Amino acid sequence: MYDYKEKNNRRMASLIGRVAFATVLFLTGTMPVFAAPPGAGTLDPASAAGFVPHKALYELKLSAKSSSSKVSNITGKMVYEWQPSCDAWISNHHFDVTYDYLEMPSLRVTSNFSTYESFDGKSFNFSSQRKREGVVFEELRGNIEYDDQGSAKAVYSLPQDLSFDLPEGTLFPMAHTLDVLDKINKGKKFYQATVFDGSDDQGPVEINSFVGKTAEFVPPAEYQEYIAKELISDDALKMRLAFFPLEKAQVSSDYEMSLLFHKNGVISDMEVDYGDFSVSQKLVAIEPLSGTCDSDKKGEK
């Protein structure tokens, strides 16, 4: 009875790592590692590119649906935190969504998803837990391992015996975002990449990115006091992303995403199109965060 619901939840949960569409460094290590002074850790390429650590709250709503869709409504929120540590980026996401269905009971699903992605692209850890009506129904945990030839594999400790060989050139989520930003700065309008973020058990995906015109984000009047204006003051770029699974060949995308991307790494508006329904995710609160590196904190004293 709940197969359809769980499929949709997995789709939504797989989006979690990509909502944070802010990351940089090739899995293969082709981006240079920045040298750092003794005791300061590795310098953060994302901060060097202008990305700002932040905590953001997004409101989720059903924005469109087809006449054949079994979904009658979707509401919820997502809390996203991103900040650098001494040698890695740390992201945390909390997703709380209620699905209403025709001729079936409503379903509340909560998801917690965290990643640790090193600046040098050589370490990536991920974990998630999903609950249905407060009961855990899925847990994922794993990391990236390398063989003697430098080939990468995503190895899950939960569930056991699950792994994916990652094609050469596969990017982690932060690395993907910074690479997209690099292409934007070079005036490119189309970009294709293979990305692994560990947000589900489906393996890496191919993401086709299309860069459009600039646009201004105007927060809804009722939320303006909760939004740090300096984080959304610059014009954003309209973008369209299409996601294709690597495990099976298909002509049409699994889902597509339209968003407003600020060059400081903030996403201010987003709509995800799953074909039979679409979900909007609008920024309703955001504040800057500081880094978590102990050496940085000592230097401030």
Model confidence, pTM: 0.83
pLDDT value of residue 147: 83
Q: First vs last Cα of the chain: how many Å apart? A: 58
Domain boundaries, the chain: 3-300
Sign, CA torsion 262/264/270/272: positive
| Residues facing 261 on adjacent strands | 237, 267
Residue 268 φ then ψ, to 5°: -100, -20
The whole-number average pLDDT for the span 189-209 is 92
Of residues 154 and 31, more confidently modeled: 154
Q: What is the DSSP letter of 24?
A: B
Give the span between the Cα atoms of 265 and 141, in whole angstroms: 26
Digit-coded pLDDT (tens) for 202-240: 899 999 999 999 998 988 889 999 999 999 988 799 999
Q: Residue 22 pLDDT more than 90?
A: no
